A and B are shown apart, each in its own frame.
Chain A
Amino acid sequence: MTWSAFLVAHWADLWWRFGEHVALCACTLSAACLIALPLGVWLTRLPRTAGAVLGLCSVVQTVPSLALLGFLMVITGRIGWVPSVLALFLYALLPILRNTIVGLGTTPPPVRQAATALGMTADQVLWQVSLPLAMPVVFAGLRTAAVWTIGTATLCAFIGAGGLGVFINRGIETVDARMVLLGVVPAATLALVVDALFAWCGRRLTPPGGP
């Protein structure tokens, strides 16, 4: 079968799996942002707790992805989306959380001090000074999380969550390199496109000048 014939034969399936993959990653990343961004902002006021939370996230990060998926499948007692989104979510937390905390900490001390000394409230300092200055670092964290999630999501096919990993699994089982590539190439392309998209958003939201 030629490449083009191969593609035509799997065209509909490819788009379906691609859609599944995008949905899986979008759910995970939205949940991670929704939790990690506010949590990161809040934790900058509690440096000790912040250390503990970051430590916990790092521990999660050291667990191999496949093991985490299997483990969550066992404790949730389910296969498919629930353990998959949960695992990817846990992975995505660390880069977003850490970069938010680090980013907010990069406000130069004289700037923070001047802001307070001139009568800005803690909230005003956060929203008008620290957050805008933290944007490049926060977005770097989002990009890491996005690329990571899109890549790792291919493993979720092992526990029945679908996505582009399905082709990779099928390719491995049938020793068919073309089938593996059918999963790998769209996943890699998606990662690059999303990364570029976040980079663009980051530049738009980063004020000129920088810290």
Chain B
Amino acid sequence: MSDRAPEVAFAGVSLRYPNGVQALNDVTFSVPAGSICALMGGSGSGKTTLLKLVNRMERTSAGDVSLDGRPVDSSDPVMLRRSIGYVIQEGGLFPHWTAERNVGLVPRLLGCDQRTSDELVTSAMDLARIPRAEFGRRRPDQLSGGQRQRVAIARAIAARPRLLLLDEPFGALDPAIRAEMQDELRALVKRLGCTVILVTHDIAEAFAVADRIVLIDHGRLVQIGSPVEIALAPSDAVAAAFTAKQALELRLRHLRLADVAVNLPTCDGTSNTELSGERAVADALGAIARSGDERFTVLHQGRRLGPFHRRAVWDLLQRGTA
């Protein structure tokens, strides 16, 4: 793989198992270079299968997966996999190896000399915030769940891959650690400039980490869009069902006031309460409530929008969230 992050393209991808199960059905989308894409769906939706097509752990029965236009099927699977970082739920760390030996796996497989491999291990463990001096000689059973996932992430990035595949990487962690790791992960991969494909069934995780979300259901692509688009404009009932349970919370936490304001009806009257469009909706609603004013205006990209009524925001947020 080249030195820059690749674009990953899925073109008309289908997969039918010999037993007749259609795991994927004509899925087409692409993940722009350097972006983070979340594959979302329930269990059995085909999201993990889609991920495994990228490093040839599965093969398509029709269509192509390509990296920067080069079909993955034209690469040797073993060499391809060594160039792609991979993290699985529960980490999949080798229980009989120390943390540092686990992290050094891919550099060793690639035939790096001892010194280079040592440097890569140390820097990967630093980046994943699991310092080698303290944790390097511990075995997985001597680490907490969160620490194990950090080691797994360090192992995935050790050989400096330009593409990372993450399969429910935080699925087994408790919610507090999960939120912390999600923020860190996003910062880390943005710093490394990798293209990332993340499989998750947790919509909050997709919203927290991804630039784009791909909704998959029964092997079909349901909707692709930014978190804002997924939250505010589900393409159909299936897409709406994904966000239904947590829709209100997600919209409050992840939407900016400006995202909402462009969809709000203006109201009569005037307002002295002016809010920046960059503020999170939850935060803005708090500010409006404290101001004692029922109406507000929004300052967005030098323009003043509104006035709007506070109740209209709630109406919009709750639409379709029964």
A and B interact physically: yes
Within 8 A of B (CB), among A97-135: 108, 110-111, 113-121, 124, 128-129, 132-133
Most chain A beta carbons < 10 A, residue from B55, B80, B95, B156: B95
A51 within 8 A of B: no
Chain B residues with Cβ below 8 Å from A77 are none
A64 on the B face (CB < 8 A): no
With both chains docked as a complex, state the minimum distance between the C-beta of A23 and any C-beta of chain B, in angstroms. 36
Say which residue of B83, B89, B97, B141 sits within 8 Å of A110 (CB atoms). B89
CB pair A110 B91 closer than 8 Å: yes
Instruction: State whether A208 touches B92 (Cβ < 8 A).
Output: no
A132→B95 CA distance, assembly (Å) = 10
Render B89-116 as a binary contact track against A, CB cut-off 8 A, 1 for contact.
1111111110000000110010000000
- Residues in chain B near residue A120, CB distance under 8 A: 78, 105, 109
B88: chain A residues within 8 A (beta carbon): 110, 113-114, 117
| Number of A interface residues in the complex (CB < 8 A) | 22
CB distance from A43 to the nearest CB of B (A): 23
CA distance A66 to B78 in the complex (A): 53
Please tell me which one of the listed residues A108, A117, A132, A207 contacts residue B57 in the complex, with CB atoms under 8 A apart.
A117
Cβ-defined partner of A210 (8 Å) among B55, B81, B95, B109: B95
A47 at the interface (CB under 8 A from B): no
| 30 A-B pairs whose Cβ atoms sit less than 8 Å apart in the complex | A110-B90, A111-B92, A111-B94, A114-B86, A114-B88, A114-B91, A114-B152, A115-B94, A117-B57, A117-B86, A117-B165, A118-B106, A118-B109, A118-B156, A119-B78, A119-B83, A119-B106, A120-B78, A121-B78, A129-B94, A132-B96, A133-B95, A207-B97, A208-B96, A208-B139, A209-B95, A209-B97, A209-B139, A209-B141, A210-B96
Q: Known contacts A113-B57, A119-B106, A209-B95; can you find 8 more A-B pairs with CB under 8 A?
A: A110-B89, A116-B81, A118-B106, A119-B79, A119-B81, A209-B97, A210-B96, A211-B95
Write the residues of chain B forming the contact surface with A, with a CB cutoff of 8 angstroms. Answer: 55, 57, 78-83, 86, 88-97, 105-106, 109, 139-141, 152, 155-156, 165
